[in-house]
Amino acid sequence: MGHPTDSTCIFCKIAADQIPCTKVYEDDAVLAFLDIGPLVRGHTLVIPKGHYATVMETPPEVLAEIAKRLPGLSKAVLAATGAKACHVLVNSGAEAMQSVHHLHFHILPRKGGDTFRIPWNAGKLDSVEGTALAAAIKGQMGC
């Protein structure tokens, strides 16, 4: 169907209906299904049908196809689970806890008083280091 695939990839097999999943949405470009190991009730994964390992390797237009569907999918997951908020997150690369190397967005519905926690051990941005870092990133972006 014109998109790249990896015959060893479990999400490519799911997208090709070779391995079953609990689908919640599907169209030509995107598939959404329930995570087999939910962190919270309603934990949903959204993938492009094409195989791209990380955000960094995904063509912007493929990311745009996913982005277009995220508001509707997030609202549907929230409505179905009775949640009022959610995390939408992407682990991109092994060091960032990515275990399945086919791009996927996690939708994690949250409710007041739930017990799910993401450690968020905030530091403090040093202004000198921050200025240098911002310059380095701007340089990489060509601006």
What's the closest the beta carbon of residue 40 comes to ligand 5GP, in angstroms? 11
Q: Which residue is associated with the tokens 């960094």? A: 56
Closer residue to ligand 5GP in complex, CB, 36/133: 36
Is residue 11 within the footprint of Zn ion (CB under 5 A)? yes
The three-state (H, E, C) secondary structure of 31-96, written as one string: EEEECCCCCCCCCEEEEECCCCCCHHHCCHHHHHHHHHHHHHHHHHHHHHHCCCEEEEECCCCHHH
51 flagged as catalytic: no
Q: Which amino acid is at 77?
A: V
Structure tokens belonging to residue 112? 């007041």
Site string for ligand 5GP, 67-106 (x = CB under 6 A): ------------------------x-----xxxx------
Q: How far is CA 59 from the centre of its chain?
A: 15
Is residue 35 within the footprint of ligand 5GP (CB under 6 A)? yes
Distance separating alpha carbons of residues 82 and 77, to the nearest angstrom: 8
Closer residue to ligand 5GP in complex, CB, 96/136: 96
Is residue 37 within the footprint of ligand 5GP (CB under 6 A)? yes
Is residue 9 within the footprint of Zn ion (CB under 5 A)? yes
Interaction site with Zn ion (CB under 5 A) = 6, 9, 11-12, 51, 102
Q: Which residues are catalytic?
A: 104
